[in-house]
């Protein structure tokens, strides 16, 4: 990864949105992060019977959320605005969606407890990492995917429609549609009819 020299005049937000190296402690990004943390704190404090309040908070926090989608608290994001979730989805307790880059979730997706969707990338070189540079790659999850409990989806991964990923798997590479994947790293073990 190449650290930018700042000569092109773009903001850190523009760099982040383009998937390029940026500094997360930029004031504009810090403000967006704090806004998201306030909204997730309010969301996570809601009661089980406060469905309308939860829906309202998710609509304010996320880039988009489809009808009849439910996320059980606690729920954690970086910014929220880069997350788009389709209709009729369900996320069990403890979803972590670090949306430095876009996270797109299709319709009818099921996420088990403690699923992590991680878009950030940190440099391997000590200097840029010490200086707090980072980047990100988007995650895309197709329609009718089921991620079992504790699944981790790494930056830049696309999971095809109708795929099932077994509990505890770490998805480091794209998975095609209609397969069962297990393990660390996740490997396709068979097709699903």
pLDDT digits (tens, 9 = 90+) for 28-43: 999 999 999 999 999 9
6 in a structural domain: no
Task: Kindly report, residue by residue over 57-115, the tens digit of the pLDDT.
Answer: 999 999 999 999 999 999 999 999 999 999 999 999 999 999 999 999 999 999 999 99
What b/e string do you get for 135-153 counting C-beta neighbours within 10 Å, with b at 16 or more? bbbbbbbbbbbbbbebbbb
**Structural domain that includes position 104:** 12-191
Distance CA 12, CA 117 (A): 22
Annotation marks residue 76 as catalytic: no
Distance CA 175, CA 160 (A): 6
Give the chain's domain count: 1
63 in a structural domain: yes
Distance CA 88, CA 106 (A): 9
Q: Which residue among 35, 72, 122, 137 is the active-site one?
A: 122
7 in a structural domain: no
> Residue 6 has what pLDDT?
63
């Amino acid at each position: 990864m190449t650290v930018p020299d700042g000569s092109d005049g773009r903001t850190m937000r523009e760099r982040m949105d383009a998937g390029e190296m940026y500094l997360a402690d930029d004031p504009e990004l810090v403000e967006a992060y704090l806004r998201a943390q306030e909204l997730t704190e309010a969301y996570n404090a809601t009661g089980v019977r406060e469905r309308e309040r939860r829906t309202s908070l998710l609509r304010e926090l996320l880039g988009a959320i489809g009808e009849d989608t439910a996320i059980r608290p606690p729920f954690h994001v970086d910014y929220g605005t880069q997350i788009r979730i389709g209709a009729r989805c369900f996320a069990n307790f403890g979803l972590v969606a670090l949306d430095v880059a876009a996270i797109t979730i299709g319709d009818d997706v099921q996420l088990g407890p403690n699923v992590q969707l991680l878009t950030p990338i940190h440099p391997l070189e000590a200097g840029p990492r010490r200086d707090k540079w980072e980047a990100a790659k988007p995650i895309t999850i197709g329609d009718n995917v089921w991620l079992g409990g504790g699944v981790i989806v790494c930056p830049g991964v696309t999971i095809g429609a109708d795929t099932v990923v077994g509990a505890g798997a770490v998805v480091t590479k794209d998975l095609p549609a209609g397969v069962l994947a297990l393990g660390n790293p996740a490997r396709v073990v068979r097709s699903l009819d």
